Structure 1
Amino acid sequence: MPGRIGIIAKSGTLSYETVASTTRAGLGQSLCIGVGGDIVPGTDLREALSVLENDEDTDAIALIGEIGGAGELDAAAWIKDYLARVESPKPIVGLIAGVHEARGRVMGHAGAFTAPGEPGAEAKIAALEDAGVTMVNHPAKFGDALKARLDGRSRSALGARHSTTSSDDFIFTHGQRRQLHTSTVGRPRIRYSRCQPSRLPGRQQQQRHIHLGEDKCMDILRATSRINCGSYSGHGDRRFLAIGIDRSTRSPCIVAAPSIEEGELARVAKRYSFDFQRGLDELAIERVAAHLQLSSKASAVESLRKVIKGLAALFYEREAFLVATHIVERLGEIKVVGAHFGFDDAAFRSGGRQGDLQDLRDTTAEDPSEMEAEKSGIVYIKLPGDGANIGTLVNGAGLAMNTVDALADAGGQAANFLDTGGKATSETVKKSFEVILRDPRVRVIFVNIFGGLTLGDMIARGIILAFQELSPAVPVVVRIRGTNEKEGQKLIAESGLPLYAFDDFEAAAAKAIELSRG
């Protein structure tokens, strides 16, 4: 709905929710900028903020971030400067998804993971709050929070229960005053086609990121470089050294820390970006050696240079996104005593490159349910905890992360992260049910679907079909909003099945938590 709110989002489904919330609040949208959740962004959050700062139609801004990279910290620095230099700044309300991420796992989006040395969701929330941003924990609250800021209410009154305006008050218009899309009269007809990821003959669809065990990583190092590597003898302080991607500078970087302790790593790690065409800056090695607290011996610096060049060559040649090691200094020489590599399998799926890496994947060490979901294009991750008893089924990575976070804020605990993808279908809903029900901890299934590319009535039919075929022994709470939401809710309500249907997220979450304790 044409209006006053500019939206910046790393998540598609969370932007859908925010559009709906600002529409229900009567505010509408001036411009929506989706920067996406890729590892290397095109437009970043700061650039999007600059656009909306200078946009005459925008009176306030909704900022949606998530785990991965440090773009939100860069945005917080920009906002702090903006609020200091502008006499009447535009109010900004924010949300960060992924507080309860599964560390070391990719949470749906290609870039939705926290790499070593990157800030987590809580650090991003703290930085934005310190910069003067009002934070909410669910996108349905954006409308009321932005309205309160625009009305000049006290910040303490924000974050309350979102508007319960009926879905009948939604106004959908295709022709926008900005003329960014071709205007038509009425609602356009849309043809939907089912897209299948490209597959090479004789192979299952692979997970987006490939992580190898330490032994295989060390074998790759021995085979592709002359780096001294072997098991840790217990002598010498272990340090962290990696080649990764600096998402803010959009370039490869050296990541170095004098400690390998997980709690310390994010605090003490430093990133040294370099131009991927010109290669490593010779002077950077000296700075890296100093930060790693290596001895001042020239041999140690030269040995470190050799290791870094070897890791960088592996990073390029094998199309990795992270080549991480633990190193020790012994007698002025650097030795690799631990390794963890991450590869993006897009090279294989799109062009058949790096096929041998697929063969190195140790499927025996992976959860069978997660692998089965993967074959259907579903990202399913079991979350730890004996009290994790709410099975979640969500479309879209950002919304799935936020669902886990919001349940935790309300006193519940999700048993899993499950992203059906932005275009959930009846088939993926059924498969998701099957996978979730294999977890004996699950005492209730919480379906949280927001229709954008997905139609609410189609999802409702998929839920009903799955329930009829699988006869789950646990209750199912369904929240459907967005495209064809009324039709979907009606189908659920008239199904005659023991399904609990809601349109309000907080009410649905409260019911799921109640049932999980029953």
Structure 2
Amino acid sequence: MVRASTPVRVHRSVRRHVRCCRAFSAAAPGHDSYVDTLPNLRIGRHTRVMFQGFTGKQATADATESIAWGTNIVGGVKPGWTGEHLGRPVLLTVREAVEQLKPHATAIYVSAHHAAAAIEEAIEAGVPLIVAVAEHVPLHDMLRIHSILQTQSKSRLVGPNSPGIISAVGRCRIGFQPLPCFVPGWIGIIAKSGTLSYETVASTTRAGLGQSLCIGVGGDILPGTDLREALSVLEDDPDTDATALIGEIGGTGEMDAAAWIKDYRPRAKLPKPIVGLVAGVNEARGRIMGHAGAFTAVGEPDARTKIAALEDAGVTMVNHPAKFGGVLKAILGGETSHTRRDTVGSWVGDRLGGTQRRQFHGFAIGKPRPSGHYQPPTRCSQQQRRHIHLAEDKCMDLLRAAGQVNCGTYSGHGTRGLLAIGINRSTRSPCIIAAPAIHEGELLTPNVRHFPFDFQRGPDQLASERVASHLQLGGSKGSAVDSLRQAIASLFAIFFNKEAYLMTTHIVERLGAIKIVAAQFSFDDAAFRSAGRQRDLHMLAAGSSGDQPDAAAENSGIAYIRLPGDGFIGTLANGAGLAMNTVDALAEAGGKAANFLDTGGKATSETVKESFRVILQDQRVRVVFVNIFGGLTLGDMIAREVIMAFQELSLDIPVVVRIRGTNENEGEKLIAESGLPLFAFDDFEEAAAKAIEPSHA
């Protein structure tokens, strides 16, 4: 039984309150680093929370739940309107709210195209913690926000595209996490994926461990707080005995976290155990896997590389979020009191011998491994959801219009190099990406280096010279470097003016100058869909929308990717991380997924029905596997929607439904009593075994 309130915990909470109040005060003179804002993440009962967009429908619903749970919401802001809402004052501006309400944190509940302006207003007013939950915030809006954040030391950002941050111990929720899953306890959770974090919460609750501080860093390309930073906060958190770390494909955050853990373990007197999961082992390379940031760009590590790095740092890896609770409980020896760590000289895992990673290496926790049924292509040539891609001739036209750039076809003479402008997710800034030679396609090119530069100023002369040195340019003195500088300037002009996220070219050096012989440009679709900008790019990209199932799914707000190979299991999940992990876990169990499909965090009857339609357009599908965690969506509601879809579409193949979370028993009962060839489970491995049966027929 989890002890939610003991004399020891109350005593420590008082000390924690004093410590956190100091942390939320203005930065001391001389501090001028964004790193100094990390203590602002330590929320609790003392935290005074305001809302931007307070009177909106979703803000009202989430604030009402949070207030009832115990969160100290002191009011909010609505431009052009004052008064009261939920018994709390509503003010015109954030600055007025800061002066009158004295908040420690603000929850930003505005639409994606207003999110950056709302964040900037909160930074200018000096709000210590800013939590942005909106999805589809334009990428270049966030690049501008990060250029501002790096120049100050008062405000810390969580999000966007994040469920928020929550202290189960302190009863403080800033976001929309499903409250029924949370119980005060001792496990800190850091996650890129909302749905995977919810199931991890439920797993640690079932194990009797509960949660301390849970930070949803989110699935955006440029999160305000990353995995490494969140780990550093939990290091000194007195309520956290161990950490669950949930990563996924995209960026180098997991590698940065592994490096931090490798440094942390030898310097800490009693290092806290860390158990991890990385989703996207079976990613479709070159595709966006639901989250805006869930794609592996050129020069970035894949999921297997991240898993290996975390294991090497001493992290125990699992392959499914339902296993976090059992594994953490085993590592902690079944004890959940701080006094155990105070009186016992080492962790149970150390007493059992070896590091925690070695201790559990043979344990049946599902170490991810290659599935064998999917080989990623060598080029990023497929259509990506939420992003715009242009044909190569149109990319070349943009380059010629941007400046004096030599563009043309590759003659076969000269070594092709890689020159690109993209995003460095660790520095949260744009960067030049370069490699002196291309081998086996750009994604697999070795010796790729990133050269970050300031978003507002653009690449400078020094950056160009460093890139030229890495590319090993020769030719007549200075001429090749000059032409390279011109190419970089033209690429950046397009990147900045057209809101690109990755612009890749192949270059050769001919007659002492640079020639671009191939180009592939990718632009941020959110700039148009959320903010109405870059309409001309949509016109240029017309007619290249990809195959019909993708288009039909996107029109319904569904992320669907048809996986190559002989996969026969159609998959459906409510959340991008959960959808990725479903494909991975099925592969490890011996199954072959035909697709990735994310209905979004809240599955509805329409999205479930449309998901079935899209899945069944694939003639390979012999069984449908529905994997739902009832956090934001109730299990019985999902069961009714699956039954309705099955009947309306007259399905003639079996459907396996795995329901976990809120109202899971009611959902399983509805399916069991439906009289249809539907099979309901709460255990993933049992459900996966049933879904794999058609392969044995």
Q: TM-score by structure 1 length?
A: 0.89
Correspondence for 1:402: 581
- Is 1:116 aligned with 2:116? no
Cα pair 2:189 2:215 within 8 Å, conserved: yes
Structure 1 position 239 matched with structure 2 position 417: yes
- Structure 1 stretches lacking a partner, 5+ long: 163-205
CA distance in 2, matches of 1:461, 1:158: 40
1:299 is aligned to 2:479:
yes
Deviation of 1:223 (Å): 2.7
| Partner of residue 263 from structure 2, selected from 81, 84, 88 | 81
Q: Unaligned 5+ residue runs, structure 2?
A: 1-182, 334-347, 353-358, 367-383
- For residue 617 of structure 2, the aligned residue among 419, 438, 446 is 438
Matched residue pairs, number? 474
Partner of 1:96: 278
CA contact (8 A) 2:319 2:365 kept: no
CA contact (8 A) 2:501 2:524 kept: yes
Match of 1:320 among 476, 500, 505: 500
- Letter of the 2:605 counterpart: S
Structure with the larger RCO, 1 or 2 (CA within 8 Å, 6+ apart): 1
Q: Does 1:71 align with 2:243?
A: no
Q: Which one of 529, 533, 548 corresponds to residue 368 of structure 1?
A: 548
Q: 1:183 is matched with which residue? A: none
In the TM superposition, residue 336 of structure 1 has moved relative to its aligned partner by 0.8
- Cα distance in 1 for residues equivalent to 2:528 and 2:487: 27
Supply the distance in 2 between the matched residues of 1:53 and 1:208 (Cα, whole angstroms): 36
Residue of structure 2 aligned with 1:34, choices 216, 219, 227: 216
Superimposed CA distance per residue, residues 329-348 of structure 1 (whole angstroms, 9 cap, x where no aligned partner): 10011111111111111111
One-letter identity of the residue aligned with 1:35? V
In the alignment, which of 202, 210, 221 is matched to residue 399 of structure 2?
221
Please tell me whether the aligned partners of residues 68 and 118 of structure 1 are also in contact (alpha carbons under 8 angstroms): yes
Contact 1:378-1:428 at 8 Å conserved across structures? yes
Q: Report if the CA contact (8 A) 1:145-1:159 is conserved.
A: no
Query: Residues 46-90 of structure 1: CA distance to partner in whole angstroms, max 9, x if unpaired?
Result: 110011101001000000000110011110010000001012100
Would the alpha carbon gap of residues 322 and 157 (structure 1) be closer, same or farther in structure 2, given more than 3 Å must change?
A: closer
Question: In the alignment, which of 358, 361, 364 is matched to residue 160 of structure 1?
Answer: 364
SS in 1 for 2:530: helix
What pairs with 1:140-219 in structure 2 (closer than 5 Å)?
140-151=322-333, 152-153=348-349, 155-156=359-360, 159-160=363-364, 207-219=385-397
Q: In the superposition, relative to structure 1, how do residues 446 and 421 fare at CA in structure 2: closer, same or farther (>3 Å)?
A: same
CA-CA distance at 1:364 after TM superposition? 5.0
Give the letter aligned to residue 201 of structure 2. Answer: V
Q: Is the Cα contact below 8 Å between 1:257 and 1:265 reproduced in 2?
A: no
* Structure 1 position 359 matched with structure 2 position 555: no
Q: CA deviation at 1:396?
A: 0.5
Amino acid in structure 2 at the alignment position of 1:62: A
Alpha-carbon distance between aligned partners in 1 of 2:247 and 2:277, rounded to the nearest angstrom: 6
Query: Which stretch shifts more, 433-442 or 252-261?
Result: 252-261
1:486 aligns with 2:486: no
State the AA in 2 paired with 1:389: F
Over 3 Å counting, the alpha-carbon distance change for 1:264 and 1:440 in structure 2 is closer
Provide the C-alpha distance between the structure 2 equivalents of 1:264 and 1:365, rounded to a whole number of angstroms: 22
The residue aligned with 1:174 is none
Corresponding residue number in structure 1 for 2:10: none
Preserved contact between residue 6 and residue 58 of structure 1 (Cα < 8 Å):
yes
Residue 346 of structure 1 aligns with an amino acid whose one-letter code is: A
Match of 1:469 among 631, 645, 648: 648
Does 2:460 correspond to 1:256?
no
Return the alpha-carbon distance in structure 2 between the equivalents of residues 382 and 349 of structure 1: 24
Q: Does 1:347 align with 2:527?
A: yes
Give the C-alpha shift of residue 158 in structure 1: 6.6
Q: Distance in 1 between matches of 2:542 and 2:247?
A: 33
Residue aligned with 2:360, SS:
helix
Q: Secondary structure at the match of 2:409?
A: coil
Aligned partner of 1:446: which letter? F
Residues 437 and 445 of structure 2 are in contact (CA less than 8 Å); yes or no, is this contact kept in structure 1? no
Letter in 1 for 2:360: S
1:137 partnered with 2:314: no
User: How much has 1:365 moved relative to structure 2?
Assistant: 6.2
Residue in 1 that maps onto 2:287: 105
Give the 3 Å change call, closer, same or farther, for CA 118–266 of structure 1 in structure 2.
farther
Q: 1:275 to 1:263 in 2, by over 3 A?
A: closer
Q: Distance in 2 between matches of 1:105 and 1:479?
A: 26
- Secondary structure, counterpart of 2:451 in structure 1: strand
1:184 maps to which residue? none
1:127 aligns with 309
Q: Name the CA distance, whole Å, in 2 between partners of 1:158 and 1:145.
A: 12
The one-letter code matched in structure 1 to 2:392 is: E
What are the superposed Cα offsets for residues 227-284 of structure 1, whole Å, 9 maximum, x if unpaired?
1111111111111111111000000100001122238745410000011123213112
- Separation of aligned partners in 2, 1:16 and 1:315: 36
AA partner of residue 558 (structure 2): I
Change (3 A) 1:73 1:484: same
CA distance in 1, matches of 2:443, 2:522: 21
Q: Deviations over 1:312-341 (max 9, x none)?
A: 111000011111111111001111111111
CA distance in 2, matches of 1:75, 1:130: 12
Alignment deviations for residues 140-162 of structure 1 (CA, whole Å, 9 cap, x no partner): 11111111211224523775369
Q: TM-score when scaled to structure 2?
A: 0.66
Post-superposition Cα deviations, 1:133-191, rounded to whole Å, max 9, x if no partner, equal 000111111111111211224523775369xxxxxxxxxxxxxxxxxxxxxxxxxxxxx
Aligned-pair distance for 1:41? 1.1
Report the alpha carbon displacement of residue 126 of structure 1 after superposing the two structures with TM.
0.6
Q: Is the 8 A contact 1:62 1:93 kept in 2?
A: yes
Change in CA separation of 1:398 and 1:503 when aligned onto 2, cut-off 3 Å: same
Q: 353-362 or 299-308: which moved more?
A: 353-362
CA shift digits 1:409-450 (9 cap, x unpaired):
111110000010111101000000001111010111000011
Distance 1:272 1:263, change over 3 A: closer
The one of 637, 654, 660 equivalent to 1:458 is 637
Q: Which residue of 2 aligns with 1:43?
A: 225
Cα distance between partner residues in 1 of 2:443 and 2:541: 29
The one-letter code of the counterpart of 2:485 is R
Q: Is the 8 A contact 2:403 2:486 kept in 1?
A: no
Contact 1:380–1:416 (CA under 8 A) maintained in structure 2: yes
CA contact under 8 A between 1:251 and 1:273: conserved in structure 2? Answer: yes
